[in-house]
Structures are given as C-alpha cells and as structure tokens.
Amino acid sequence: MRDRLIERILLLAATSAVAMLALITVFIFREGLPVIFDQGPLSFVTGLTWAPSLGQYGVLPMIAGSALVTAGALVVGLPLGLACAITLAEMAAPRARAVLKPTIELLAGVPSVVYGFIGMEVLVPFIRNAPLLGGPGYSALAASVILAVMVLPTIISISIDAIEAVPRSFREGSYALGATQWQTITGVVLPAARSGIVAAVILGMGRAVGETMAVIMVAGNSVQLPHSLLDPVRTLTANIALEMGYASGAHAQALFATGIVLFVVSLCLNEIAGRVRGRSRVSVVVAADAPADAEARAELLGDSGMRPSRMEPSL
C-alpha cells in the first residue's frame, strides 16, 4: 500500500517533467507558427531580411551566424579538447590527472556572462588591433574563440569517458604486436572510441548553438550573411535575447518562430548524438560476445558504460 503510494508520487514527478517539456513545445509552436505561415515557411527560413518594423522576417542570416560560430568553435575547440582528453586518459601521471580533470570540469561551471565579459575586454580589442585581423573586433571569430573555450569541458570529459571505455586488452594486444604508445593511441584506442568522440563533438555543438549571453557580448549581432570570420554575425539565440525587450505582436511571434528553428536544430543534434551513442552501445555487446580478433573488435567497438548526459538547448 505504502509502496504503491510512493510509486504513484514518483510517477507523478516523472510525468510532470515530461509534461513541462510538452507544454513548452506546444507554447513555442503555438506562438511561433502563425508568423512562419504568414511569411511562408520557405521564405522565413531562407529570407535574408530581418526588419520587424517592416514586417519582414527572414532568419537565414541568423542560421548562417549560428552555423559559422559553431563550426568555428569546433575547429578551435576539437583539436584542443581531443589532445587534452588523450593526454589525460592515456598519458598523464595519476597525480597530474587528479588535478587537471576537476579543473577542466570547473571550466564548465563558469557563468557564460563571465566568458562574454572577458571576450569583450580582451579578445575584441585584440582582434580589432591585431595585424592581419582588424575590423570592429566584434565578430564571428571572437564568438568562435569564446565558444571554443566554453565547449572544451563537454568535449574533454565525454571524450575521456569514451577513451577509458576502450578495454585494456586492446592496448595490451597492440603493445604485444610491437606498437608504440602513439601508434596504439592513433591506431587502436581512438578508432575504438570514435563514436563516443563523435557524440562529444555533437553535444559540444549543441552547447555552442544554444549559448546566448557570451555570444551576444562579442559577436556584434549584425543581421547579415558574413563574408569572413571578421564580420559581425547574429546567432539565432542572440536574435531572441536582443529583441525580446520591446517586441510585441507579430515581432514577438517572430522571435518565438526563431525559437522553433533553434528547437528543431537542437532536437536534431540531440537525436544524432543519441543515435551515435546508441550504436556504440550495441556494438559493445556484439564485440563482447563475438570471439573475433582484436582488430575487428576495435573496428566495432566504441565507448560503453557512459551515462547518456542530456544536452541543454538554452532556448
């Protein structure tokens, strides 16, 4: 009797979280869809002009802006993050590791407005005054660099998990064949951890796409298709946060419509990340059951035993 009561309460708590998500979804779509259909879905997504005062709502510059800064963040952040993950998981002495890993995780706890402020005070003037760079400083480049630092903890910690999940026997097999440590890492460990690393990258992308405050502070927020990394850009999230203050009527709805685009992008990234990881979990089972040779197993196997951590699309 008491067990059933507790069960009910827990069920209620569980469904309320899902109901919240459902409500948010319904609300965003109800508010945003009318503008999308007034404008025509295609012209909303591919329109180049965002002029709420003239009733023109095209979000392509923002989609391009989000894509550019996210890609930039990965170009800068992925090599760094991967190098850091390999070092920590495979090479670092246990003592160094005990210090470095928590420090990196601390990086995730720094509020985004702090990153944005550092970007404004240090990075933007640097870009403006540096030879070969120049321009206003507020740019896709500034946003990319700041985002790269912000996605590092995500990429590093998930990659470390993926690398550590590669069974010890793989490495031992590799060494037994006469491979060096570096050959083992590049030839056996990384391929085996590939799907986990891909998931790390996609979750990092989700973080970059959803980031708002830091990006607003350094990206310049011009509604234009960027021609270079030094051009100011506006991201989808920035569009909502910038204009929500005074928006009313159709303008406010258009911001919700921007939210729909963001929602769909985040959902897709989440789904892809989930699938990549799901595939790897299946292959672990296969690999564990099949008495295949180490190379074939390495081919099949990815990360395992990781908790699927959720991505937070900060809408």
Partner 1 sequence: MTTTATLAMLFAAGCTRATARNSGDVVLAGSTSIQPFAERWAEDYTLGRVTVQSGGSTAGIKAAHDGTADVGMSSRQLHAAESEGLVQTVVARDGIAVIVHRANPVHALTLAQLRGIYAGTIRSWRTVGGVDAPITVITREEGSGTRDTFQERVMGDGVGIAREALVTAYSGGLRKMVAEDPNAIGYVTFSQLNARVHALALDGVMPTEQTIRDASYHLQRPFLFLTRGAPTGASEQFLQFVLSPRGQSIARAEGLAPVATY
Contacts to partner 1 by CB under 8 A: 50-54, 61, 125, 128, 136-138, 216, 220-224, 231-232, 234, 241-243, 245-248, 251
What CA–CA distance (Å, rounded) separates 138 from 117?
12
Minimum Å distance from CB 160 to partner 1? 38
Minimum Å distance from CB 215 to partner 1? 13
* Residue with Cβ nearer partner 1 (2 or 53): 53
SS (H, E, C) the chain: CHHHHHHHHHHHHHHHHHHHHHHHHHHHHHHHHHHHHHHCHHHHHHCCCEEHHHCEECCHHHHHHHHHHHHHHHHHHHHHHHHHHHHHHHHCCHHHHHHHHHHHHHHCCCCHHHHHHHHHHHHHHHHHHCCCCCCCCCCHHHHHHHHHHHHHHHHHHHHHHHHHCCCHHHHHHHHHCCCCHHHHHHHHHHHHCHHHHHHHHHHHHHHHHHCCHHHHHHHECCCCCCCCCCCCECCHHHHHHHHCCCCCCHHHHHHHHHHHHHHHHHHHHHHHHHHHHHHHHHHHHHHHHCCCCHHHHHHHCCCCCCCCCCCCCCC
* Residue with Cβ nearer partner 1 (254 or 300): 254
Minimum Å distance from CB 150 to partner 1? 20
* Residue with Cβ nearer partner 1 (17 or 248): 248
* Residue with Cβ nearer partner 1 (231 or 303): 231
Minimum Å distance from CB 202 to partner 1? 30
* Residue with Cβ nearer partner 1 (159 or 212): 212
* Residue with Cβ nearer partner 1 (9 or 130): 130
Minimum Å distance from CB 79 to partner 1? 30
* Residue with Cβ nearer partner 1 (136 or 274): 136
For 5, phi then psi, to 5°, come to: -65, -45
Minimum Å distance from CB 244 to partner 1? 9
CA 8-13-18 angle, to 5 degrees, is: 120
Minimum Å distance from CB 121 to partner 1? 9
